[in-house]
Structure 1
Amino acid sequence: MPELSVAGWSLLALGAVVIGLSKAALPGAGTIAVALFAAALPAKQSTGTILLLLIVGDLFALWAYRRHADLRALVRLIPAVVVGMLLGVVFLAAAPDALVRRVIGVILLVVIAATLWRRRAASGSPVDAGARPHPAVAAVYGSLGGFTTMVANAAGPIMSMYFLALRFPVQAFLGTAAWFFAIVNVSKIPFSVGLGLITPSGLVIVAVLVPLVVVGAFAGRAIATRIPQRLFERLVVVITVIGALYLLLPV
């Protein structure tokens, strides 16, 4: 069993619940869990440990929302995501942690501003949920999502902005995100093992925290079935801004 203080275990427990909530109801909140795990564990171990817990949350989200996904939107993202992940591997091997955090924080704020501007400009047009975006839009979001998920498990806010731009209803949003992150996170396992991010002590922590991820996911599922569309979209934006600002803070 890893030697952690009561405060350390408390941070990890809260982070595990947040992971469940993020997968079932509050996309982008996973960035808060990243912060909690980074405060309790060494940087590399926290990255690998949280990846495995995110996959547990992905499995629940797939079970809950598998029938609501827009698979065409996912297919359009695949090439750009692969490119972004490969660039992330190179960047992760060469750049210091402080630079990685700040680059991702700046990217998130730019993406938020661009998404809100696009939505405001299109506010007078009819809503076409899941409409096909310009290929360049999918390429930009996909590559940024692949890059940030590889270097910091922080693609949630970026992909939330993309799905928000597509004006998905709540359950279509969550179902599409569930399939996206399940595929991407599982594909990251070989890279994480190769980089030494997944450790034996990290696996013990995962085993202890899995029930809390499930508790958070069930709570999130109950919230998602009742949350109004407008409130959901506002929460996504607010959580994304909080995550971006956290990444810009000095550590």
Structure 2
Amino acid sequence: MIAEVLGYGWPMLAAMAAAAVVIGFSKTSFGGIAGISVAVFALAMPARESTAAVLVLLLVGDAVAILRYRTVSWRLLLCLVPSVLPGLLLGALFMAFVSDGVMRRTIGLLLLAMVLLQLWQRRRPAAPETEVGEPHPARTIGTGVAAGFTTMTANAAGPVMALYFLAARIDKVRFIGTNAWFFALINLAKVPLTAALGLFTPAHLLLDLLLVPAVLLGCALGIAVIRRVSQRQFEVVTLIASALSAGLLLLR
């Protein structure tokens, strides 16, 4: 009955439920892997509509992560926010005029370039660190615009921010807490823009309601796993997940 009302077969609903678990898991552990869920939802429904369906689930995961992780680098957030807003507006404009295929490949190439840049920088000796590293202002502005653009067009800013926070060399707990607050604020800002594009539908909101328990399950799994992961393992997995997300967007 549920599958018939929503218009999806049970296999596709199961795939989206698994993707919802990954969303929750990414919010409380390895942020870069959420791109896998974006790809699943984009395969299940039109790419533009999938961004609205995923947005609601992301907000649920953001709320859990904020409640769980209280260590936040407000300095990094304050530096990023001003440049994110132009990226959001640019992304909304881009969605209105560019095809899904061009949009996905543009984002994928951007993510891949950032992964390669991060790998190159990690080969260099680390500079003396303060409590939180200080990425170059140009990188901060570029990351903010890119994050706003990619989160608006494909909910794919997770890898962008993961690479930025890795460059700042903050520990995994501060990474997750700062990431949670950043995306909570940005995802809330996306709601009116998404609504203005007419992408929220009753059917998709019902689907989101049914998938919320899967997101919560993923959040619980992420909290359990991240305790057992070292800082080095966290950084390696985050880089690999970012590269895989870029590949998925390029190959879809």
- Quick check: TM above 0.5? yes
| Counterpart in the other structure of 1:104 | 107
Percent identity at matched positions?
43
Structure 1 contact 88–151 (Cα < 8 Å) conserved: yes
Under a length normalisation based on structure 2, what TM-score does the superposition of the two structures give?
A: 0.95
Under a length normalisation based on structure 1, what TM-score does the superposition of the two structures give?
A: 0.96
- Structure 1 portions without partners, runs of 5+: none
Q: CA deviation at 1:39?
A: 1.7
| Counterpart in the other structure of 1:119 | 122
Q: CA deviation at 1:246?
A: 0.7
| Counterpart in the other structure of 2:16 | 12
CA deviations on 1:86-139 (whole Å, 9 max, x unpaired) are: 11111111111100000000000111111221222134x444451222211110
**C-alpha distance 25-205 of structure 1, shift in aligned 2 (>3 A):** same
Find the partner of 2:62 among 34, 58, 65.
58
Structure 1 contact 12–36 (Cα < 8 Å) conserved: yes
Distance in structure 1 (CA, Å) of the matches to 2:131 and 2:218 = 28
Distance in structure 1 (CA, Å) of the matches to 2:33 and 2:164 = 15
CA RMSD of aligned residues (A): 1.1
Q: Please identify runs of 4+ aligned residues in structure 1 that moved more than 4 A.
A: none
Q: Which amino acid aligns with 1:16?
A: A
- Equivalenced residue count is 248
Q: Which amino acid aligns with 1:132?
A: E
What pairs up with 1:91-170 in 2 under 5 angstroms? 91-123=94-126, 125-170=127-172
| Counterpart in the other structure of 2:48 | 44
- Structure 2 portions without partners, runs of 5+: none
Distance in structure 2 (CA, Å) of the matches to 1:120 and 1:206 = 42
Q: CA deviation at 1:46?
A: 1.4
Structure 1 contact 128–167 (Cα < 8 Å) conserved: no
Find the partner of 1:84 among 83, 87, 111.
87
Aligned pair 1:3/2:23, yes or no? no
| Counterpart in the other structure of 1:239 | 241
Structure 1 contact 129–167 (Cα < 8 Å) conserved: no
Q: CA deviation at 1:178?
A: 0.2
CA deviations on 1:124-179 (whole Å, 9 max, x unpaired) are: x4444512222111101111111100111000000000000001101000000000
Q: CA deviation at 1:223?
A: 1.0
Distance in structure 1 (CA, Å) of the matches to 2:135 and 2:234 = 22
Distance in structure 2 (CA, Å) of the matches to 1:216 and 1:131 = 30
Structure 1 contact 48–192 (Cα < 8 Å) conserved: yes
Structure 2 contact 21–214 (Cα < 8 Å) conserved: yes
Structure 2 contact 133–170 (Cα < 8 Å) conserved: no
